[in-house]
Structure 1
Protein backbone atom coordinates (compact mmCIF):
# COMPACT_ATOMS: atom_id res chain seq x y z
CA UNK A 1 0.00 0.00 0.00
CA UNK A 2 1.23 3.48 -0.85
CA UNK A 3 2.39 5.53 2.15
CA UNK A 4 1.60 9.27 2.07
CA UNK A 5 2.96 11.68 4.68
CA UNK A 6 2.43 15.43 5.13
CA UNK A 7 5.43 17.45 6.28
CA UNK A 8 4.58 18.63 9.84
CA UNK A 9 6.75 21.74 9.37
CA UNK A 10 5.06 22.94 6.17
CA UNK A 11 2.15 25.32 5.93
CA UNK A 12 1.30 28.81 7.09
CA UNK A 13 3.77 30.75 9.15
CA UNK A 14 2.59 32.47 12.36
CA UNK A 15 2.11 35.84 10.68
CA UNK A 16 -0.22 34.46 8.00
CA UNK A 17 -2.25 32.45 10.53
CA UNK A 18 -2.69 35.60 12.62
CA UNK A 19 -3.83 37.66 9.62
CA UNK A 20 -6.36 35.04 8.48
CA UNK A 21 -7.71 34.73 12.04
CA UNK A 22 -8.29 38.49 12.16
CA UNK A 23 -10.18 38.42 8.84
CA UNK A 24 -12.28 35.40 9.81
CA UNK A 25 -13.32 36.99 13.14
CA UNK A 26 -14.75 39.97 11.26
CA UNK A 27 -16.54 37.68 8.80
CA UNK A 28 -17.94 35.48 11.58
CA UNK A 29 -19.48 38.59 13.15
CA UNK A 30 -21.25 39.38 9.89
CA UNK A 31 -18.97 42.35 9.18
CA UNK A 32 -17.44 43.07 5.81
CA UNK A 33 -13.70 43.35 5.32
CA UNK A 34 -11.32 43.96 2.43
CA UNK A 35 -7.76 42.69 2.27
CA UNK A 36 -5.37 45.22 0.77
CA UNK A 37 -3.61 42.87 -1.63
CA UNK A 38 -3.84 39.08 -1.66
CA UNK A 39 -4.00 37.74 1.89
CA UNK A 40 -1.51 35.05 0.87
CA UNK A 41 0.13 34.14 -2.43
CA UNK A 42 -2.19 31.16 -2.78
CA UNK A 43 -5.16 31.40 -5.14
CA UNK A 44 -7.05 28.54 -3.49
CA UNK A 45 -6.89 30.05 0.01
CA UNK A 46 -7.82 33.51 -1.31
CA UNK A 47 -10.80 31.91 -3.06
CA UNK A 48 -11.85 30.21 0.21
CA UNK A 49 -11.70 33.50 2.11
CA UNK A 50 -13.60 35.33 -0.60
CA UNK A 51 -16.29 32.63 -0.45
CA UNK A 52 -16.73 33.64 3.22
CA UNK A 53 -17.26 37.26 2.18
CA UNK A 54 -13.80 38.80 2.19
CA UNK A 55 -12.85 41.12 -0.68
CA UNK A 56 -9.39 41.63 -2.15
CA UNK A 57 -8.55 45.15 -3.25
CA UNK A 58 -5.55 47.21 -4.33
CA UNK A 59 -4.59 50.74 -3.32
CA UNK A 60 -6.27 51.94 -6.53
CA UNK A 61 -9.57 50.47 -5.31
CA UNK A 62 -9.68 52.25 -1.94
CA UNK A 63 -11.97 55.03 -3.23
CA UNK A 64 -14.41 52.58 -4.78
CA UNK A 65 -14.28 49.97 -2.01
CA UNK A 66 -17.60 49.65 -0.21
CA UNK A 67 -16.08 48.12 2.92
CA UNK A 68 -15.15 50.43 5.76
CA UNK A 69 -12.82 47.78 7.23
CA UNK A 70 -9.53 47.34 5.38
CA UNK A 71 -7.04 44.72 6.50
CA UNK A 72 -3.29 45.26 6.25
CA UNK A 73 -1.94 41.76 5.59
CA UNK A 74 1.07 40.12 7.25
CA UNK A 75 3.55 41.62 4.75
CA UNK A 76 2.90 45.13 6.10
CA UNK A 77 2.55 48.43 4.26
CA UNK A 78 4.47 51.73 4.03
CA UNK A 79 3.34 54.74 6.10
CA UNK A 80 1.79 56.32 3.00
CA UNK A 81 -0.80 53.52 2.83
CA UNK A 82 -1.93 54.13 6.41
CA UNK A 83 -2.27 57.86 5.65
CA UNK A 84 -4.36 57.17 2.54
CA UNK A 85 -6.69 54.82 4.42
CA UNK A 86 -7.12 57.28 7.30
CA UNK A 87 -7.75 60.16 4.88
CA UNK A 88 -10.47 58.07 3.22
CA UNK A 89 -12.07 57.31 6.59
CA UNK A 90 -11.39 53.58 6.48
CA UNK A 91 -11.09 51.47 9.64
CA UNK A 92 -7.64 49.85 9.55
CA UNK A 93 -7.40 46.24 10.71
CA UNK A 94 -3.64 45.90 11.08
CA UNK A 95 -2.48 42.30 10.66
CA UNK A 96 1.16 43.11 9.96
CA UNK A 97 3.29 40.23 11.25
CA UNK A 98 4.82 41.32 14.60
CA UNK A 99 8.26 40.32 13.31
CA UNK A 100 7.83 42.52 10.21
CA UNK A 101 6.42 45.37 12.31
CA UNK A 102 9.44 45.31 14.61
CA UNK A 103 11.73 45.36 11.56
CA UNK A 104 9.86 48.33 10.07
CA UNK A 105 10.34 50.26 13.31
CA UNK A 106 14.04 49.42 13.38
CA UNK A 107 14.55 50.57 9.78
CA UNK A 108 12.64 53.81 10.45
CA UNK A 109 14.65 54.60 13.60
CA UNK A 110 17.97 53.87 11.87
CA UNK A 111 17.05 56.07 8.90
CA UNK A 112 16.05 58.96 11.16
CA UNK A 113 19.10 58.65 13.44
CA UNK A 114 21.69 58.25 10.66
CA UNK A 115 20.88 60.66 7.81
CA UNK A 116 24.49 60.38 6.59
CA UNK A 117 24.22 56.62 5.98
CA UNK A 118 22.91 54.43 3.19
CA UNK A 119 20.10 52.06 4.19
CA UNK A 120 20.24 48.72 2.37
CA UNK A 121 17.40 46.22 2.29
CA UNK A 122 18.53 42.76 1.20
CA UNK A 123 15.37 41.55 -0.51
CA UNK A 124 13.32 41.32 -3.67
CA UNK A 125 12.45 44.51 -5.48
CA UNK A 126 8.69 44.96 -5.61
CA UNK A 127 7.91 42.44 -2.86
CA UNK A 128 5.12 43.68 -0.58
CA UNK A 129 7.23 43.43 2.58
CA UNK A 130 10.12 45.27 0.91
CA UNK A 131 7.82 48.08 -0.26
CA UNK A 132 6.74 48.51 3.36
CA UNK A 133 10.34 48.60 4.56
CA UNK A 134 11.49 51.09 1.93
CA UNK A 135 8.54 53.27 2.90
CA UNK A 136 10.03 53.68 6.38
CA UNK A 137 12.90 55.59 4.72
CA UNK A 138 10.64 57.77 2.55
CA UNK A 139 11.79 55.77 -0.46
CA UNK A 140 15.51 56.36 0.09
CA UNK A 141 16.60 52.80 0.93
CA UNK A 142 18.48 50.68 -1.61
CA UNK A 143 17.01 47.26 -2.39
CA UNK A 144 19.71 44.74 -3.29
CA UNK A 145 19.16 41.08 -4.10
CA UNK A 146 22.54 40.11 -5.61
CA UNK A 147 26.07 40.75 -4.28
CA UNK A 148 27.17 42.51 -7.48
CA UNK A 149 24.49 45.16 -6.94
CA UNK A 150 26.55 46.73 -4.14
CA UNK A 151 28.12 48.87 -6.87
CA UNK A 152 24.94 50.97 -6.84
CA UNK A 153 26.13 52.37 -3.51
CA UNK A 154 28.63 55.12 -2.65
CA UNK A 155 31.67 53.29 -1.22
CA UNK A 156 32.60 56.33 0.87
CA UNK A 157 29.36 56.40 2.86
CA UNK A 158 28.51 54.08 5.78
CA UNK A 159 25.87 51.37 5.34
CA UNK A 160 23.18 49.90 7.55
CA UNK A 161 21.94 46.62 6.11
CA UNK A 162 18.64 44.88 6.91
CA UNK A 163 16.96 41.88 5.34
CA UNK A 164 13.50 40.99 4.12
CA UNK A 165 12.38 38.38 6.66
CA UNK A 166 11.98 35.55 4.12
CA UNK A 167 15.37 35.76 2.37
CA UNK A 168 17.88 32.86 2.59
CA UNK A 169 20.55 32.96 5.29
CA UNK A 170 23.33 32.09 2.82
CA UNK A 171 22.34 35.00 0.59
CA UNK A 172 22.42 37.38 3.54
CA UNK A 173 25.96 36.23 4.40
CA UNK A 174 27.07 36.73 0.78
CA UNK A 175 25.56 40.23 0.66
CA UNK A 176 27.25 41.17 3.93
CA UNK A 177 30.63 39.97 2.62
CA UNK A 178 30.17 41.90 -0.65
CA UNK A 179 29.29 45.10 1.23
CA UNK A 180 32.25 44.82 3.57
CA UNK A 181 34.58 44.34 0.59
CA UNK A 182 33.18 47.28 -1.39
CA UNK A 183 32.28 49.90 1.21
CA UNK A 184 35.29 51.79 2.62
CA UNK A 185 33.25 53.26 5.47
CA UNK A 186 31.52 51.36 8.27
CA UNK A 187 29.09 48.53 7.46
CA UNK A 188 26.61 47.53 10.14
CA UNK A 189 24.40 44.55 9.28
CA UNK A 190 21.28 43.31 11.06
CA UNK A 191 20.26 39.72 10.39
CA UNK A 192 16.49 40.23 10.37
CA UNK A 193 15.60 36.94 8.67
CA UNK A 194 12.74 35.08 10.36
CA UNK A 195 14.22 31.85 11.69
CA UNK A 196 10.92 29.98 11.47
CA UNK A 197 10.95 30.65 7.75
CA UNK A 198 14.71 30.18 7.31
CA UNK A 199 14.60 26.78 9.00
CA UNK A 200 12.12 25.60 6.38
CA UNK A 201 15.02 25.21 3.96
CA UNK A 202 16.89 22.42 5.79
CA UNK A 203 13.57 20.92 6.96
CA UNK A 204 12.17 20.72 3.41
CA UNK A 205 15.47 19.33 2.15
CA UNK A 206 15.46 16.53 4.72
CA UNK A 207 11.77 15.77 4.23
CA UNK A 208 12.01 15.52 0.44
CA UNK A 209 15.02 13.22 0.64
CA UNK A 210 13.10 10.84 2.92
CA UNK A 211 10.54 9.91 0.25
CA UNK A 212 10.45 8.21 -3.15
CA UNK A 213 8.20 10.93 -4.58
CA UNK A 214 7.59 14.43 -3.25
CA UNK A 215 4.58 16.62 -4.05
CA UNK A 216 5.09 20.32 -3.35
CA UNK A 217 1.92 22.40 -2.94
CA UNK A 218 2.08 26.16 -3.42
CA UNK A 219 0.53 29.14 -5.11
CA UNK A 220 2.19 29.83 -8.45
CA UNK A 221 2.95 33.45 -7.53
CA UNK A 222 4.60 32.67 -4.18
CA UNK A 223 8.31 33.57 -4.17
CA UNK A 224 8.74 31.53 -0.99
CA UNK A 225 7.06 28.61 -2.75
CA UNK A 226 9.37 28.76 -5.77
CA UNK A 227 12.40 28.91 -3.50
CA UNK A 228 11.34 25.97 -1.30
CA UNK A 229 10.28 23.90 -4.31
CA UNK A 230 13.78 24.27 -5.75
CA UNK A 231 15.21 23.14 -2.41
CA UNK A 232 12.95 20.07 -2.39
CA UNK A 233 13.71 19.23 -6.02
CA UNK A 234 17.43 19.48 -5.39
CA UNK A 235 17.16 16.89 -2.61
CA UNK A 236 14.70 14.74 -4.52
CA UNK A 237 14.58 15.15 -8.33
CA UNK A 238 11.27 13.26 -8.27
CA UNK A 239 9.49 16.30 -6.81
CA UNK A 240 6.37 17.71 -8.50
CA UNK A 241 4.95 21.23 -8.14
CA UNK A 242 1.16 21.65 -7.91
CA UNK A 243 -1.07 24.59 -7.05
CA UNK A 244 -4.14 22.41 -6.42
CA UNK A 245 -4.93 18.72 -5.93
CA UNK A 246 -6.58 18.43 -9.37
CA UNK A 247 -3.12 18.82 -10.97
CA UNK A 248 -1.81 15.58 -9.40
CA UNK A 249 -1.18 12.84 -11.97
CA UNK A 250 -1.55 9.16 -11.13
CA UNK A 251 1.44 8.13 -13.24
CA UNK A 252 3.75 9.94 -10.79
CA UNK A 253 3.22 7.06 -8.38
CA UNK A 254 3.34 3.29 -8.09
CA UNK A 255 2.13 1.12 -5.27
CA UNK A 256 4.35 0.43 -2.26
CA UNK A 257 6.25 3.73 -2.40
CA UNK A 258 6.64 6.55 0.06
CA UNK A 259 5.17 9.94 -0.92
CA UNK A 260 5.87 13.17 0.92
CA UNK A 261 3.62 16.23 0.68
CA UNK A 262 5.04 19.62 1.64
CA UNK A 263 4.44 23.27 0.89
CA UNK A 264 5.30 26.94 1.28
CA UNK A 265 4.66 29.30 4.18
CA UNK A 266 1.59 30.43 2.18
CA UNK A 267 0.20 26.89 1.75
CA UNK A 268 -2.80 26.04 3.97
CA UNK A 269 -2.83 22.67 5.71
CA UNK A 270 -6.22 21.83 4.22
CA UNK A 271 -4.69 21.98 0.74
CA UNK A 272 -1.99 19.45 1.65
CA UNK A 273 -4.68 17.20 3.18
CA UNK A 274 -6.60 17.45 -0.07
CA UNK A 275 -3.50 16.37 -2.01
CA UNK A 276 -3.01 13.41 0.34
CA UNK A 277 -6.60 12.19 -0.14
CA UNK A 278 -6.30 12.57 -3.92
CA UNK A 279 -3.16 10.40 -4.02
CA UNK A 280 -4.61 7.76 -1.70
CA UNK A 281 -7.78 7.58 -3.82
CA UNK A 282 -5.70 6.43 -6.81
CA UNK A 283 -4.88 3.19 -4.98
CA UNK A 284 -8.18 2.25 -3.38
Structure 2
Protein backbone atom coordinates (compact mmCIF):
# COMPACT_ATOMS: atom_id res chain seq x y z
CA UNK A 1 0.00 0.00 0.00
CA UNK A 2 1.37 3.38 -1.05
CA UNK A 3 0.94 6.13 1.57
CA UNK A 4 1.59 9.75 0.54
CA UNK A 5 1.48 13.01 2.49
CA UNK A 6 0.20 16.04 0.59
CA UNK A 7 3.11 18.48 0.57
CA UNK A 8 0.71 21.42 0.09
CA UNK A 9 -1.00 20.65 3.40
CA UNK A 10 0.02 21.83 6.83
CA UNK A 11 0.70 25.20 8.38
CA UNK A 12 -0.07 28.38 6.49
CA UNK A 13 2.41 31.25 6.84
CA UNK A 14 0.48 32.93 9.66
CA UNK A 15 0.31 29.85 11.89
CA UNK A 16 3.92 28.88 11.19
CA UNK A 17 5.03 32.42 12.06
CA UNK A 18 3.10 32.41 15.37
CA UNK A 19 4.46 29.04 16.46
CA UNK A 20 8.01 30.06 15.58
CA UNK A 21 7.62 33.24 17.64
CA UNK A 22 6.37 31.17 20.58
CA UNK A 23 9.24 28.70 20.35
CA UNK A 24 11.81 31.50 20.03
CA UNK A 25 10.43 33.19 23.13
CA UNK A 26 10.33 29.92 25.08
CA UNK A 27 14.07 29.55 24.55
CA UNK A 28 14.48 32.63 26.76
CA UNK A 29 11.76 32.00 29.36
CA UNK A 30 10.34 28.94 31.10
CA UNK A 31 6.71 30.05 30.82
CA UNK A 32 4.81 32.17 28.28
CA UNK A 33 1.13 33.09 28.22
CA UNK A 34 -0.90 32.80 25.02
CA UNK A 35 -4.35 34.33 24.61
CA UNK A 36 -6.41 31.39 23.34
CA UNK A 37 -5.18 28.23 21.63
CA UNK A 38 -2.20 29.19 19.48
CA UNK A 39 -3.54 26.85 16.82
CA UNK A 40 -6.76 24.82 16.55
CA UNK A 41 -4.96 21.53 17.01
CA UNK A 42 -4.94 19.91 20.44
CA UNK A 43 -1.85 17.82 19.71
CA UNK A 44 0.25 20.88 18.87
CA UNK A 45 -1.17 22.81 21.82
CA UNK A 46 -0.05 19.96 24.10
CA UNK A 47 3.42 19.86 22.52
CA UNK A 48 3.89 23.58 23.17
CA UNK A 49 2.40 23.27 26.67
CA UNK A 50 5.19 20.84 27.45
CA UNK A 51 7.63 23.57 26.41
CA UNK A 52 5.99 26.13 28.74
CA UNK A 53 3.22 27.78 26.69
CA UNK A 54 0.22 28.48 28.93
CA UNK A 55 -3.17 29.15 27.35
CA UNK A 56 -5.35 31.83 28.96
CA UNK A 57 -8.73 33.35 28.14
CA UNK A 58 -9.74 37.01 28.09
CA UNK A 59 -10.94 37.02 31.70
CA UNK A 60 -7.58 35.68 32.85
CA UNK A 61 -5.81 38.30 30.72
CA UNK A 62 -7.45 41.05 32.78
CA UNK A 63 -5.88 39.61 35.94
CA UNK A 64 -2.32 39.46 34.59
CA UNK A 65 0.24 42.17 35.35
CA UNK A 66 3.80 42.88 34.23
CA UNK A 67 4.38 39.83 32.03
CA UNK A 68 4.51 38.71 28.39
CA UNK A 69 1.50 37.53 26.39
CA UNK A 70 1.52 36.10 22.88
CA UNK A 71 -1.16 37.23 20.43
CA UNK A 72 -1.83 34.36 18.05
CA UNK A 73 -2.28 34.54 14.27
CA UNK A 74 -6.07 35.07 14.49
CA UNK A 75 -5.62 38.67 15.64
CA UNK A 76 -7.36 40.51 18.48
CA UNK A 77 -9.89 43.32 18.94
CA UNK A 78 -8.79 46.78 20.15
CA UNK A 79 -9.88 45.99 23.72
CA UNK A 80 -7.06 43.48 24.10
CA UNK A 81 -4.43 46.12 23.37
CA UNK A 82 -6.12 48.52 25.81
CA UNK A 83 -5.96 45.87 28.53
CA UNK A 84 -2.27 45.32 27.79
CA UNK A 85 -1.55 49.03 28.25
CA UNK A 86 -3.49 49.21 31.51
CA UNK A 87 -1.84 46.09 32.96
CA UNK A 88 1.70 46.76 31.72
CA UNK A 89 1.70 43.62 29.59
CA UNK A 90 4.28 43.10 26.88
CA UNK A 91 2.47 41.75 23.83
CA UNK A 92 4.31 39.46 21.44
CA UNK A 93 2.09 40.11 18.46
CA UNK A 94 2.00 37.19 16.04
CA UNK A 95 -1.16 38.36 14.28
CA UNK A 96 -1.19 37.14 10.68
CA UNK A 97 -0.45 40.01 8.25
CA UNK A 98 -3.43 38.94 6.12
CA UNK A 99 -5.72 39.20 9.14
CA UNK A 100 -4.29 42.57 10.17
CA UNK A 101 -4.89 43.93 6.68
CA UNK A 102 -8.48 42.72 6.80
CA UNK A 103 -8.99 44.30 10.22
CA UNK A 104 -7.89 47.62 8.74
CA UNK A 105 -10.28 47.20 5.79
CA UNK A 106 -13.19 46.42 8.10
CA UNK A 107 -12.36 49.42 10.32
CA UNK A 108 -12.16 51.73 7.29
CA UNK A 109 -15.46 50.42 5.88
CA UNK A 110 -17.14 50.82 9.26
CA UNK A 111 -15.97 54.41 9.63
CA UNK A 112 -16.92 55.26 6.03
CA UNK A 113 -20.38 53.70 6.32
CA UNK A 114 -21.39 55.51 9.49
CA UNK A 115 -22.68 58.55 7.62
CA UNK A 116 -24.72 56.30 5.31
CA UNK A 117 -26.16 54.19 8.16
CA UNK A 118 -24.52 51.17 6.52
CA UNK A 119 -24.09 47.64 7.85
CA UNK A 120 -20.85 45.69 8.12
CA UNK A 121 -21.56 41.99 7.57
CA UNK A 122 -19.01 39.27 8.34
CA UNK A 123 -19.35 35.80 6.82
CA UNK A 124 -17.74 33.62 9.44
CA UNK A 125 -18.14 31.47 12.50
CA UNK A 126 -19.74 33.20 15.48
CA UNK A 127 -17.29 33.22 18.38
CA UNK A 128 -14.26 32.35 16.24
CA UNK A 129 -11.15 34.18 17.40
CA UNK A 130 -10.61 35.91 14.06
CA UNK A 131 -14.25 37.00 13.87
CA UNK A 132 -14.05 38.46 17.39
CA UNK A 133 -11.06 40.52 16.26
CA UNK A 134 -12.82 41.68 13.10
CA UNK A 135 -16.06 42.56 14.85
CA UNK A 136 -14.03 44.50 17.40
CA UNK A 137 -13.05 46.94 14.64
CA UNK A 138 -16.72 47.94 14.43
CA UNK A 139 -17.38 48.31 18.15
CA UNK A 140 -19.01 44.86 17.86
CA UNK A 141 -21.75 46.30 15.65
CA UNK A 142 -20.91 43.99 12.73
CA UNK A 143 -23.49 41.34 11.84
CA UNK A 144 -21.98 37.84 11.73
CA UNK A 145 -23.61 35.42 9.30
CA UNK A 146 -22.96 31.71 8.97
CA UNK A 147 -26.18 30.25 7.57
CA UNK A 148 -29.00 31.44 5.33
CA UNK A 149 -31.20 31.96 8.39
CA UNK A 150 -28.72 34.56 9.65
CA UNK A 151 -29.57 36.76 6.64
CA UNK A 152 -32.86 37.66 8.36
CA UNK A 153 -30.80 40.00 10.58
CA UNK A 154 -29.96 42.30 7.66
CA UNK A 155 -31.90 45.44 6.73
CA UNK A 156 -32.05 45.41 2.93
CA UNK A 157 -33.00 49.06 2.74
CA UNK A 158 -29.59 50.04 4.16
CA UNK A 159 -26.13 49.73 2.54
CA UNK A 160 -24.41 46.37 3.12
CA UNK A 161 -20.66 45.84 3.09
CA UNK A 162 -19.79 42.14 3.17
CA UNK A 163 -16.46 40.62 4.22
CA UNK A 164 -15.38 37.05 4.98
CA UNK A 165 -13.35 35.41 7.70
CA UNK A 166 -10.06 34.61 5.96
CA UNK A 167 -10.33 30.85 6.45
CA UNK A 168 -13.88 30.30 5.20
CA UNK A 169 -14.71 28.37 2.04
CA UNK A 170 -14.64 30.40 -1.18
CA UNK A 171 -17.63 28.46 -2.42
CA UNK A 172 -19.50 29.24 0.80
CA UNK A 173 -18.74 32.96 0.55
CA UNK A 174 -19.99 33.30 -3.00
CA UNK A 175 -23.08 31.27 -2.17
CA UNK A 176 -23.85 33.66 0.69
CA UNK A 177 -23.20 36.64 -1.59
CA UNK A 178 -25.68 35.24 -4.11
CA UNK A 179 -28.31 34.75 -1.41
CA UNK A 180 -27.91 38.37 -0.30
CA UNK A 181 -28.20 39.55 -3.92
CA UNK A 182 -31.43 37.57 -4.24
CA UNK A 183 -32.86 39.23 -1.15
CA UNK A 184 -31.79 42.65 -2.40
CA UNK A 185 -33.56 41.96 -5.71
CA UNK A 186 -36.69 40.80 -3.87
CA UNK A 187 -36.68 43.97 -1.77
CA UNK A 188 -36.35 46.09 -4.89
CA UNK A 189 -39.23 44.24 -6.53
CA UNK A 190 -41.34 44.98 -3.46
CA UNK A 191 -40.63 48.68 -3.82
CA UNK A 192 -38.04 48.95 -1.03
CA UNK A 193 -35.46 51.65 -1.88
CA UNK A 194 -32.37 49.42 -1.64
CA UNK A 195 -29.10 51.29 -1.18
CA UNK A 196 -26.14 49.08 -2.18
CA UNK A 197 -24.21 45.84 -1.68
CA UNK A 198 -20.41 45.90 -1.57
CA UNK A 199 -19.12 42.31 -1.39
CA UNK A 200 -15.44 41.77 -0.60
CA UNK A 201 -13.84 38.36 -1.06
CA UNK A 202 -11.38 38.57 1.84
CA UNK A 203 -10.53 34.87 2.01
CA UNK A 204 -6.80 34.19 2.30
CA UNK A 205 -5.49 32.98 -1.05
CA UNK A 206 -3.08 30.61 0.66
CA UNK A 207 -6.22 28.97 2.06
CA UNK A 208 -8.49 29.21 -1.00
CA UNK A 209 -5.79 27.90 -3.34
CA UNK A 210 -5.68 24.70 -1.30
CA UNK A 211 -9.19 23.78 -2.41
CA UNK A 212 -8.30 22.97 -6.05
CA UNK A 213 -5.02 21.39 -4.91
CA UNK A 214 -6.89 19.15 -2.47
CA UNK A 215 -9.45 18.18 -5.11
CA UNK A 216 -6.67 16.86 -7.33
CA UNK A 217 -4.91 15.15 -4.42
CA UNK A 218 -8.09 13.42 -3.19
CA UNK A 219 -8.84 12.09 -6.66
CA UNK A 220 -5.42 10.44 -6.88
CA UNK A 221 -5.96 8.07 -3.95
CA UNK A 222 -8.32 5.23 -3.03
CA UNK A 223 -8.57 6.47 0.57
CA UNK A 224 -7.93 9.94 1.98
CA UNK A 225 -7.12 10.61 5.64
CA UNK A 226 -7.69 14.24 6.59
CA UNK A 227 -5.84 15.22 9.77
CA UNK A 228 -7.11 18.24 11.69
CA UNK A 229 -8.16 19.53 15.07
CA UNK A 230 -11.91 19.37 15.58
CA UNK A 231 -12.00 23.09 16.45
CA UNK A 232 -10.51 24.14 13.13
CA UNK A 233 -12.94 26.03 10.89
CA UNK A 234 -10.49 25.72 8.02
CA UNK A 235 -10.20 21.98 8.67
CA UNK A 236 -13.95 21.47 8.37
CA UNK A 237 -14.05 23.40 5.09
CA UNK A 238 -11.10 21.57 3.51
CA UNK A 239 -12.32 18.17 4.66
CA UNK A 240 -15.61 18.87 2.89
CA UNK A 241 -13.61 19.47 -0.31
CA UNK A 242 -12.03 16.01 0.02
CA UNK A 243 -15.35 14.32 0.68
CA UNK A 244 -16.98 15.87 -2.36
CA UNK A 245 -14.47 14.30 -4.74
CA UNK A 246 -13.64 11.15 -2.76
CA UNK A 247 -16.32 9.57 -0.52
CA UNK A 248 -13.60 7.39 1.04
CA UNK A 249 -12.26 10.41 2.95
CA UNK A 250 -12.00 10.21 6.73
CA UNK A 251 -11.42 12.93 9.35
CA UNK A 252 -9.07 12.14 12.25
CA UNK A 253 -7.46 14.26 14.93
CA UNK A 254 -4.59 11.85 15.48
CA UNK A 255 -3.34 8.36 14.64
CA UNK A 256 -5.31 6.76 17.45
CA UNK A 257 -8.56 7.47 15.59
CA UNK A 258 -7.60 5.41 12.54
CA UNK A 259 -9.80 2.42 11.67
CA UNK A 260 -7.99 -0.50 9.95
CA UNK A 261 -11.17 -1.31 8.02
CA UNK A 262 -10.77 1.90 6.02
CA UNK A 263 -7.69 0.51 4.29
CA UNK A 264 -9.01 -2.87 3.14
CA UNK A 265 -8.34 -3.27 -0.59
CA UNK A 266 -6.75 0.21 -0.76
CA UNK A 267 -3.66 0.42 -2.97
CA UNK A 268 -3.13 4.13 -2.41
CA UNK A 269 -3.73 6.29 0.68
CA UNK A 270 -3.36 10.08 0.74
CA UNK A 271 -2.81 12.06 3.94
CA UNK A 272 -3.63 15.77 4.04
CA UNK A 273 -4.64 18.39 6.57
CA UNK A 274 -5.69 21.91 7.49
CA UNK A 275 -3.63 25.09 7.70
CA UNK A 276 -3.46 24.34 11.45
CA UNK A 277 -2.15 20.77 11.06
CA UNK A 278 1.54 20.24 11.86
CA UNK A 279 3.58 18.12 9.46
CA UNK A 280 4.90 15.98 12.34
CA UNK A 281 1.34 14.88 13.11
CA UNK A 282 0.64 13.86 9.50
CA UNK A 283 3.91 11.93 9.56
CA UNK A 284 2.77 10.06 12.68
CA UNK A 285 -0.49 9.16 10.92
CA UNK A 286 1.47 7.91 7.91
CA UNK A 287 3.65 5.69 10.08
CA UNK A 288 0.58 4.30 11.85
CA UNK A 289 -1.09 3.41 8.56
CA UNK A 290 2.06 1.73 7.29
CA UNK A 291 2.22 -0.26 10.51
CA UNK A 292 -1.51 -1.07 10.13
CA UNK A 293 -2.17 -0.05 13.72
CA UNK A 294 -2.60 3.33 15.51
CA UNK A 295 0.39 4.64 17.40
CA UNK A 296 0.37 6.42 20.75
CA UNK A 297 0.69 10.17 20.36
Q: Cα offset for 1:31? A: 5.3
The whole-number CA distance in structure 1 between the counterparts of 2:58 and 2:207 is: 28
| Partners of 1:74 and 1:96 within 8 A in 2 | yes
1:216 aligns with 2:217: no
The whole-number CA distance in structure 2 between the counterparts of 1:155 and 1:255 is: 54
Q: Cα offset for 1:64? A: 4.6
Please, which of 203, 216, 219 is the counterpart of residue 206 of structure 1? 216
| Partners of 1:33 and 1:67 within 8 A in 2 | no
The whole-number CA distance in structure 2 between the counterparts of 1:195 and 1:72 is: 22
The whole-number CA distance in structure 1 between the counterparts of 2:12 and 2:172 is: 21
The whole-number CA distance in structure 1 between the counterparts of 2:270 and 2:177 is: 35
| Partners of 1:26 and 1:32 within 8 A in 2 | no
Q: Cα offset for 1:21? A: 0.8
Counterparts of residues 135-284 of structure 1 (less than 5 Å): 135-183=136-184, 184-254=194-264, 257-282=267-292
1:9 aligns with 2:8: yes
1:102 aligns with 2:101: yes
Q: Cα offset for 1:231? A: 2.0
The whole-number CA distance in structure 1 between the counterparts of 2:246 and 2:165 is: 28
Q: Cα offset for 1:148? A: 4.5
Q: Cα offset for 1:246? A: 2.1
Counterparts of residues 53-92 of structure 1 (less than 5 Å): 53-65=52-64, 68-92=67-91
Q: Cα offset for 1:221? A: 1.7
Are residues 209 and 87 of structure 1, via their aligned partners in 2, closer, same or farther at CA, if it must alter by over 3 Å?
same
Q: What root-mean-square deviation, in Å, do the aligned CA atoms of Structure 1 and Structure 2 show?
A: 1.8
Matched position secondary structure for 2:162: strand
Matched position secondary structure for 1:252: helix
The size of the alignment, in residue pairs, is 282
Which structure 1 segments of 5+ residues have no match? none
Q: Cα offset for 1:36? A: 0.3
| Partners of 1:42 and 1:267 within 8 A in 2 | yes
The whole-number CA distance in structure 1 between the counterparts of 2:237 and 2:292 is: 29
Matched position secondary structure for 1:62: helix
TM-score, structure 1 as length reference? 0.93
Q: Cα offset for 1:54? A: 0.8
Q: Cα offset for 1:275? A: 0.8
Are residues 67 and 50 of structure 1, via their aligned partners in 2, closer, same or farther at CA, if it must alter by over 3 Å?
farther
| Partners of 1:217 and 1:263 within 8 A in 2 | yes
Q: Cα offset for 1:85? A: 2.1
What per-residue deviation string (whole Å, max 9, x for no partner) do you get for residues 153-211 of structure 1? 22221111111111122222222223333341111121111111112222222211211
| Partners of 1:32 and 1:67 within 8 A in 2 | no
Moved more, 267-276 or 122-131: 122-131
| Partners of 1:32 and 1:69 within 8 A in 2 | no
- 1:111 — aligned with what? 110
